[in-house]
Structures are given as structure tokens and as C-alpha cells.
Copies of this chain bind each other. A is one copy, B any other.
């Protein structure tokens, strides 16, 4: 593995492919920490395994497990899924596995961004985050890919989406947060994204999903379904604080064009009714230092936009609520060539994210 510090992907002819382009495989991390995953993580591990199995129907899946959970991961996951030992602080592959870029010859390289647990000492979610921050480089070594070193720039994979044709999409709430790169201007951040992902246009949604602890990652509110088309998490309930947030995003999307000069077609994807923590669930979570990680009645950042596009399927969350079915039908209509698999994901949501957050694709 070569560590590249002297050049940037765009200058070398590399670009980040869209998630709907073909994958070599997918990376996941086995969940473990008892302040993220209720009741020792048993239910979360079953949910992660169901996601891994669904993805493995059409692409290779590698699951990283810490030493303590390795045997259990191997026992739970079917034999077609590869399990490798790798230490981490938590299980968000989207946010700390490498972002992969590809050139015209089909060569793949990784990008190793800095990671500080979604806000570092300002508003990060746990401390320390050293193991997570090492994963991108370890994964590139494992996968025998050269890696661009950009650890002086804090970025999570879930805070960016691209259409593969020069357009990127982020949220202001996240990329301009005080806990990430406060020394950089918005233009400097945009230029960095353009250089590393090979973009000519970056779309800045104002915000994301209400209560999303990641400072509102884009991957929970809006995603490309193809170049020129996005799905946007939506509610018609004007009494919900999410209403103004989704509306602000819609208004922004209606007045911008993408890298190819297209106006975006926006498909609304209705959110479930607010999903909240039960007291029983809260009792099953360890505290993080001296604070509880969740409180009874707390609203979780549930969104159907947090799906993964595998080679053959759309793997999307369900929450065991009536709204699940309408969301499934909308996504099935938007991806007619990939069968939608809906997985009961409340046990992933409790950890703070969803199916897109726990996966990272490797382009082919």
C-alpha cells in the first residue's frame, strides 16, 4: 500500500463513483459497544447480519470484527461473508472506512479522511476515536489499494453523496459544524471536496434529519437514485420540526442545477411517524462516561433514505410501522432493476444511524 500525500485524486484522474455504479464489494463492522447497542448488542448484531446477508446476495461482503467479537461474528455470519479481525471504537463503516475513487483504467484508490467521532471535543459522540480513525488505512492495506492521506481534513463518508458525474451533495449543518474543520471557509471545504472526489459542483443542502446526532448527515435526508434524480426525506406534518427542514432542502434543490446543468428531479420519500426510545430500551444501554446515551421518549433520526444500493438490491430499513410499506414501494419504483429488501432496523437506529451508515461500497 502506497500512502499518497503529494497529489490529489482529481489531479491523478480519479473520481468517486456513485453508489449505483458496480461494486467489487461492501465493508461492514460488527457492532459491540454497550453504550451504543442495547442489551449487549445481541439484537443489533442480528440486524447487522441480516443486512450483510442481503448485500451478500449480489456482492462480496467483508465484516470487520474486533478480537473479542471475532468468533461470534464468524459463528453468526454465513460462510460466504468474509470476517477479518480489525479493532474499532464502534461500527459505522460508512463514516470511517475509506472513500474509494477510481480512474479510467479501473484502478481503485482509497481516501483516508480524518475522523473525530462526529465533532471531536466540541460535540463528538464518544471519546476516544483512535481506532476508528485508523480503519481507512488498515482497510486499504487489507484490500491492497493505495491511499490518499487527508487526515488533516475531518470528513465522514455519510456526510457526502455523489452522482458519479461531477456533482456532490452535502449539508451545511454538518460540513460547516464547529467540531470538524472550523479553520476552513466554506469555499475551502468545497475546493477540498472537488479535489478529492473530482467534482465540479457541490450542492449544499441547509440541513438534514431532525435530531440526527451526526450534525445531520446528508445520507439520512437525501440520496441520488441516478444522475439528475434524488430522493428526499419528507413529511406533510407541519407541526413536526422536520417539516421546515425538509421544505428548506426541497426549496434549495428546486433552485440549483447539477454539474451537467440539469435541474434535479426530486422524489419525496415520506418519513415514518416519529420513532422514540422506550424506557425498556434505555435500561439496556450503558452510559458513556457519566451520561446516559439515550433517554425515554427521545426521538430517533429514523429515515428511509438511509438505504444501501448493492449490485443487485436496495437494502432499506423498516421500523415495524405502517409507513414502511409505502416507502418500500416508492424505492422499488425508483430502482426497477434492483429488488428492494426491507430489513427491520430499529436495533440499528437506536445506535444512531441506519443501513447506509453501517456499509461502505468498494467500486469494481
Contacts and interface: CB of A to CB of B under 8 A. Distances in A.
A85 B86 CA distance: 6
B144 A85 contact: no
Contacts of A131: 67
Interface in A36-81: 67, 70-71, 74, 79
A313 interface: no
A61 to B, nearest CB: 12
Q: How many copies does the complex hold?
A: 2
Contacts of A79: 1-3
A142 B65 CA distance: 12
B141 A82 contact: yes
B134 A70 contact: yes
A150 interface: no
Given A1-B79, A2-B79, A79-B3, A84 B141 contact: yes
Interface string A203-226: 000000000000000000000000
A138 interface: yes
Contacts of A82: 1, 141-142, 144
Given A1-B82, A82-B144, A141-B82, A134 B71 contact: yes
A65 to B, nearest CB: 10
Given A74-B141, A134-B71, A85 B83 contact: no
Nearest to A2: B79
A270 B82 CA distance: 46
A85 to B, nearest CB: 5
A66 to B, nearest CB: 9
A87 interface: yes
A83 B138 CA distance: 8
A135 to B, nearest CB: 10
Contact of A87 (B67, B74, B83, B137): B67
Contacts of A1: 79, 82
A142 B70 contact: no
Interface string A1-27: 111000000000000000000000000
A241 to B, nearest CB: 42
A83 B137 CA distance: 10
Contacts of A86: 85
A142 B87 CA distance: 15
Contacts of A85: 84-87, 138
B84 A142 contact: yes
Interface of A: 1-3, 67, 70-71, 74, 79, 82-87, 131, 134, 137-138, 141-142, 144
Q: 3 shortest A-B CB distances, which residue pairs?
A: A67-B87, A85-B86, A2-B79
20 contacts: A2-B79, A3-B79, A67-B67, A67-B87, A67-B131, A71-B134, A74-B137, A74-B141, A82-B141, A82-B142, A82-B144, A83-B141, A84-B84, A84-B85, A84-B141, A84-B142, A85-B85, A85-B86, A85-B87, A142-B142
